[in-house]
Each structure stands twice: as structure tokens, then as C-alpha cells.
Structure 1
């Protein structure tokens, strides 16, 4: 609620500034309401639940903006911000944030037991075929920095955010849709222990490299996850 109030106050302040003096008509100015939560600063405490979007694949950002606007994802401040924006403008916003190359925070350095590390690495790089769980690296890239144009990286995110997202996929609270999606199907197969191990391990890794190319994805995964990774995949 506090974030929502601040967001509204910022919008009011922006209008007042526009009346009182000239404000540069730049995308950086236009997205200031976004950077209240999605700032370039290190995320600690409650702020860890707001992800970094700078440098993420443009298609991924666009898909999520459209999902919020169209009600497939729901978070009130996002809905209020986006409800009257066109696809064209959402693409401009996505392009702007995707182009930002800002420093990443240092890894979290979370203590892990050897068996936790082994479990996390197995799921991330080998998956669990008997449960129809592909390795994380199969979609998010060998170095887990994402795949252009629409799959996000997993490195550089906080443990709190990763845990919350996996929990949301498991409970079905992230995507409001009559049709299931691949991340929900996969996350529902994970145990609490597996979620915690994966979140810890990912949060402990240093950022290195850039998103990979779409052609590294197998046709099977593209078909399975088309609702998530293709530009029209979220449409019902």
C-alpha cells in the first residue's frame, strides 16, 4: 500500500512540475513511476520482492507489461499504470528498460549445505525427467542469463524474489488464465526443499554474460512454453 501511495504522489508531482516548469519529454522521465520499485539499486529487505528489469530481454518485458494490462497477471499498482497504454507504447517502455546496462548487485552469499548445492545444480542443469521437469538451463540459457527475445535471466535476482515467484507459479497466483502454462506446470512439481535450494543457489551466483539466442531452445520446449515465450503466447 505504501508503494501504491508513493506512486500516486509521484504522478501528482509530475503533473505539478509540468505546470510549473518544463520537464524533458524523455522515456527516462516517463518511467519514473516504474523506477520507484524497479530501481537500479541493490534490493534488500522488502524491496527484494521487486525485480530488476533493466537489461532483461525486450520481448519478456513487453509480454509481462501486456499481461498486467490485460489482466492475465494482477498487481494493483501495475494495473493502474498500464490499463490505458497501447501495445506500441508498451514496446517503447520494454525497449527502454531492455537497453539499460546497469551494474548488478553482488551475490547474496547464502550458506548452503553440500546436499542443497547438489540438489539445486541437478535441477538447474539436469532437471528431473521422470517428473517431466526440464533443466532450468534448457530455457533460461546455459549461463542462466536468459534467452532473447522473451525468456528472462535467473542470475542477479534475490533469493526472496525467486522464492516468491516459484511459490506464485506453484499456487497459480501469477497468471490468471484458463489454460495452464509451462512454468506453472513445472513449479507445481517442485517440493519446498527444492524451491529453497534452487533460490539459494541462484542468488549466490555472480552475473556473467548476456542473454542467449532463441535458436538454442529445443522445438519441444518452444511448443510447451509458447504461451510464455512467444509475443502472442499470453493471449487467450
Structure 2
């Protein structure tokens, strides 16, 4: 009997605490509403890199907006993101993109990865020179000399975990992990890379310190090659 009374008292005590928590006024701000995003991508008051969830704070607004639409519309597939975004309007997605783009948070230190000289040389060649014989452009041609992205839609490559970079490049390479209804210039490029090259580039990028700013625009020849970032009606994707 005493045991039953104790359970009942604990139940009502927990219920009272839950009611008290629900009665707290939560401000209706965008910072509160995007906490569903920061569960995976990191909260505003801390900086960290999870192996599979990329940093989105400080990314280009145009890039973030396009990726949100891709997830919502099925051009890029990841079920939790698709469910989260399925009923959101373009206007609201733009708000979210603008919010995260405005965050100026410190980057974590680069990864401590030991690359063999051959790996580092291979990565630097692909990053800054590409391989014209295989029609592979330099990473810097699109992502900028500082590798911090190119306004308004090309993302930066620094400050990302090597595991995430390998997964993305591997997904484009295989054609099975990153699905889309439109062609993607990165898929065409990644398919020409070997797994040795993918690993070398990803590890090299993860060891670089974050510095510099996004470039202002793509070189004309690269803008033409990556025409797949523009939809049929001329709207940038």
C-alpha cells in the first residue's frame, strides 16, 4: 500500500513539473524555431563538427536556400530532412537560410590527420589544377582560391569533417547515395575520380585551416560547365 502511494505521489509530482515547464513562455523567434536544425547541425552557442552533419552556420544564403529546397522537393534525398521541410514555403526556407548565413561563429581547429607526401601532392594537384586529361576541373575553379565558396550558390570546402567529405564525394561517385531529379555537375566530376583520389582530397581539405572569404562569382567557363545549377525557368538552384 505504501509503495502504491509513493508511486502516485511521484506521478503527480512529475505531472506538476511538466505542467510548470509547459507554462513557461517560449519566445516565438526564428532562433527558437530552428532548434530542430541545431539538434544535428550544432547549436548557436557552441561549435562542433559531427562526422556526418555539416556546419551550416555562415554558409552562403543562396547555397543554404537551394539545399533546403532540394531536400523538400526530393532533388536531394535524406528522409529526416524531407519530413522536416515538406510543408515549408520558399519564403520560410529563405528566412531559415538567411538566419544561418548570418551566424558568425568560430570554426573548430582542423583535423589532425597524417597524410603521406604522395597523398598530399595528389590532393593539392586536384584541388588547384585538376586533371584536364580526364576533364576534371580544379576544385578552386568553382569553390574559390580560398576554397571558401563562390557567391551566391557554391559552398565552401573548409571546416568540414573528412568523413562527411568522403561520404558526399563517394555518393556522387556511385550515383546512389545522393539522388536528384536534375543533373549535377559534381556528380559528373566525382565519377571521374578514383577512391584513392576521393580519400586524399577529403583528408587534405579537412586538415586545412579556415581562412579567407567566398569568391564573388564563378569564372565564365565554369559557370557554363555547371549550368545544372540553373533550372529550366532560369532560377538558380
Q: Normalising by structure 2, what TM-score?
A: 0.85
- Of the candidates 166, 185, 188, which is equivalent to residue 188 of structure 2? 185
1:10 corresponding residue in structure 2: none
SS at match of 2:214: coil
Structure 1 distance, partners of 2:85, 2:145, is 33
Identify the residue that residue 224 of structure 1 maps to in structure 2.
225
Query: Paired residue for 2:179, among 175, 179, 191?
Result: 175
Whole-angstrom CA distance in 2 between matches of 1:84 and 1:124: 38
> Residue in 2 aligned with 1:42?
48
Q: How far 1:23 sits from its partner (Å)?
A: 1.2
TM-superposed deviation, 1:232:
2.7
Question: 1:150–1:229: 8 Å Cα contact kept in structure 2?
Answer: no
User: Which residues in structure 2 correspond to 1:115-134 (within 5 Å)?
Assistant: 115-134=118-137
Aligned to 1:165: 168
Aligned to 1:75: 78
Q: Secondary structure at the match of 1:36?
A: helix
In terms of mean alpha carbon deviation, does 83-92 or 168-177 score higher? 168-177
Match of 1:56 among 40, 56, 59: 59
Unmatched 5+ stretches in structure 1: 1-15
Residue 40 of structure 2 aligns to a residue whose secondary structure is: coil
Structure-2 separation of matches of 1:184 and 1:190? 10
Secondary structure in structure 2 of the residue aligned to 1:74: coil
Which residue does the alignment assign to 1:29? 32
- The equivalent of 2:7 in structure 1 is none
Residue among 93, 96, 100 paired with 1:93: 96
Structure 1 or 2, whichever has the larger Rg, is 2
Deviation of the 1:18 alpha carbon: 9.3
- Verify the 8 A CA contact 2:60 2:101 in the aligned structure 1: yes
Q: CA deviation at 1:188?
A: 0.4
Q: Give the distance between the partners of 2:90 and 2:228, measured in 1 at CA.
A: 17
Partner deviation per Cα, 1:170-222 (whole Å, 9 max, x = no partner)? 12221322x421100000000011001001100000000221101xx222211
The correspondence for 1:66, drawn from 64, 69, 81, is 69
Secondary structure at the aligned position of 2:41 is classed as: coil
Find the counterpart in structure 2 of residue 210 from structure 1: 213
SS at match of 2:68: helix
SS of corresponding position for 1:37: helix
CA contact (8 A) 2:47 2:105 kept: no
How many residue pairs match? The answer is 213
Alpha-carbon distance change, 100 to 229 in structure 1, aligned in 2, over 3 angstroms: farther
Give the alignment's Cα RMSD to 1 decimal. 1.8
